Amino acid sequence: MLRLDRLRDQFAFGFGSTPRIVEQSLEIEQNLSAGMTPGLYRIARVTLSVDGDGEDVDPQQFSVTFPPTVIFQIRSAIEIPASPETIAKRAEAIIFRRSLLARKPHIVSPLEESDEGLRFLVRVFGVGCLIHQSQQLEGFSIFPLGVGLSHRDMWEIVNGFLESDGSEPLPFIETTEQSFQASTPIFVISYEQVVADNVDAAFKYCAQHAQRVFSILGIDRGQKPRAFAYVVAQYDTNRWWHEFVFPGYRGNFAVDFNPVETGNLIERLLPRLETSPFSRLIVATYADATAEPEYGFAVLRFWSVMELVAEHSIPGGKPVHHPDGSPILKANGKAETTNSKHGRVYEYILAGGTYEMFGNYVEEGVQKTLYIGGSTSTSAQSATEAIALWDMVRAVYAVRNSIAHEGQFDIAKAQAGDEYERLAVRLMTGAQGVTPLEYIKWQARRAIWREI
């Protein structure tokens, strides 16, 4: 069930129930929560699961999508029920107001009024983030474009070389084409009304705005997408401009259960990015880290996020402690403090309260568990192996330092290093299920949510 909201239909309620067969129809009865917000709702989709019949018929699922015109009212006890005609008119009014909000002008500085400059339609085409449903926001919309890019041009280039070399050309394999398209999901951000002095100002404004949206998608989906094409048209003329750039993609997190959560997220975070340079910095740093293909460089970038937020909120000179309150000491017996970069990041993670991570792995046929967190906790005592939070942070920092100073984390050299370097090697090369990159990426993502 979806609620008709100001900008988009919001997920409201989902349930599972066994239908009754009544003549040629299926009927489902469901009691709704008394706490549901009064308003207009619609049923978006129903999935029917049909049990198999013994060995002859396999279980099947059928999805039924309802048209957006099937709308009903949820009202408070004192409200008078609305007629079907009134409900239809209210729904039409909501849809009309949405269209106006989607076309709200973006007025580009130094202009201040919508009637001062030229009007442009700007489309920014992105690749590298799978968006399942259109997202309408104030002043712009995001539309998924289905299949991704084709590998046919590359196939033709390869075959052109092979033929010139006297070799047999490669066949065009449809499954390869499908895999390539699936790995390059495409979408477009449409700015319907951009008011600017000239096309360059309109283009620059939308390119910067889209990058902030991409940064939010980088948090939401685990990888920052990239623009690969821009198309700008000037209203009341036949003038248009375009530009193509090269994109990339490596996969992103699974879609949220709420299909409009991406739009909600952008709507919630974009004003913060517009007004807070620090928020823009940490979000852009995180998003760039998600697009970094090299392991060590990604660790360095995610650590940079943690270092930025820790310096922003953790004072220096404070002694650090294990989760059980016992002091953390240096080899010379002096207390570790937040004066060091790793001490400050450690304190930030500990203060956040969510620092425990578990890994499961099989070694010599035996199921084992890894625990990262407080070494005296119950979870630590029941795990096959427990790594103290301080040790994990130091292992990540060891990788970060090697990358920052030498450009690489040399496994052979680190095996002869200190205990934290050796721990990093063991986690990177073993099967424990948790690596320095996974841990620091998880913490960096949590830090973004805490700060913005």
Q: Would the pLDDT of 198 be above 90?
A: yes
Task: Give the contacts of 391 (CB within 8 A, at least 6 positions apart).
Answer: 419, 420, 423
pLDDT digits (tens, 9 = 90+) for 133-184: 888 888 999 999 977 888 888 899 999 999 998 999 999 999 888 888 877 8
Range name among 77-91, 115-129, 354-368, 407-421 with the lowest pLDDT average:
354-368
Instruction: Decide: 97 and 138 in contact? Cβ < 8 Å.
Output: no
- How does residue 247 score in pLDDT terms, banded at 50, 70 and 90? very low
Per-residue pLDDT, 416: 93
Pairwise CA distance, residues 289 & 447, whole Å: 14
Average pLDDT over every residue of 216-225 = 76
421 — alpha (psi -120 to 50), left (phi > 0) or beta?
Answer: alpha
Cα 236 off chain centre by: 38
Does the CA dihedral 162-166-168-171 come out positive or negative? Answer: positive
Range from 4-13, 16-25, 87-96 that averages highest in pLDDT: 87-96
Strand partners for 187: 126, 144
Going by pLDDT thresholds of 50, 70 and 90, the confidence category of residue 222 is low
All residues at 6 or more sequence positions from 46 whose CB lies less than 8 Å from its CB, including other chains: 28, 63, 64, 66
Q: Are 354 and 372 within 8 A, CB to CB? A: no
Question: Other C-beta atoms within 10 Å of 97: how many?
Answer: 12
Query: Tokens representing 55?
Result: 């060995």
For residues 435 and 414, what is the distance between their CA atoms, to the nearest angstrom?
15
The b-or-e profile of 342-367 (16+ CB within 10 A means b, else e) is: bbbbbbbbbeeeebebebebeeeeee
Q: Cα–Cα distance between 398 and 296 in angstroms, integer?
A: 11
The proportion of the chain whose per-residue pLDDT surpasses 90, expressed as a percent, equals 46
Alpha helices in 183-230 (DSSP H): 199-221
Give residue limits of the domains in the chain.
2-84, 103-149+184-287, 292-451
The pLDDT of residue 259: 58
Q: For residues 131 and 252, what is the distance between their CA atoms, to the nearest angstrom?
A: 10
Contact (CB, 8 A) for 128 and 226: yes
Q: Which residues contact 100 (CB under 8 A, 6 or more apart)?
A: none
Is 76's pLDDT higher than 60?
A: yes
Between 194 and 290, the higher pLDDT residue: 194
What pLDDT, on the 0 to 100 scale, is given for residue 384?
84
- Helical pair 261-275 and 277-290, crossing angle rounded to 10 deg: 130
The full DSSP string for 119-174 is: EEEEEEEEES----S-EEETTEEEEE-SS---SHHHHHHHHHHHHHTTPPPPP--H
Determine whether 152 is exposed, middle or buried from the number of CB atoms within 10 Å of its CB (0-12, 13-18, 19+). Answer: exposed
Residue 255 CA to residue 7 CA, distance in Å, equals 20
54 falls in which pLDDT band (50, 70, 90)? low
What is the mean pLDDT of the segment spanning 14-37? 80
Q: Residue 323's pLDDT is what?
A: 94
The answer to whether residues 341 and 307 touch, using CB atoms and an 8 Å cutoff, is: yes
Does a cis peptide bond (omega within 30 degrees of 0) precede residue 110?
yes
pLDDT range class, residue 260, cuts 50, 70, 90:
low
And the tokens for 256? Answer: 């949220």
Confidence band, pLDDT 50/70/90 cuts, at residue 36: confident
